Amino acid sequence: MRKEEIFEIVKKHTCEVIPELESHTFERSDRLVELGANSIDRAEIVAMTMEALSLQIPRVELFGAKNIGDLVDVLYEKSQSV
């Protein structure tokens, strides 16, 4: 799977958790917290995305992600090593 596809999955799940963002133009530099996602929202978005990608990653490995682009990069790297 390509990074762009993972980005689309993250966007989709973000809009499912925070419907007000349906019309938002997502950028890789967007930070979920700045988009209004609280810690529970962020955990749900990550969990939904990992499930969609059939990944099981310890959450601690995702802590370095500062924005959606970083999250996509980590998920992409993990998906390549499965």
Tokens of residue 16, six digits? 């499912």
Mean pLDDT of the chain: 95
Written as one letter, the residue type at 7 is F
- How far is C-alpha 31 from the geometric centre of its chain's CA atoms? 10
Residue 33's CB: how many other CB atoms inside 10 A? 12
In this prediction, residue 71 carries a pLDDT of 97
Beta strands in the chain (DSSP E): none
What domains sit in the chain, N to C, each tagged with a CATH number?
3-80 (1.10.1200.10)
**pLDDT per position as a tens digit, 34-74:** 999 999 999 999 999 999 999 999 988 888 899 999 999 99
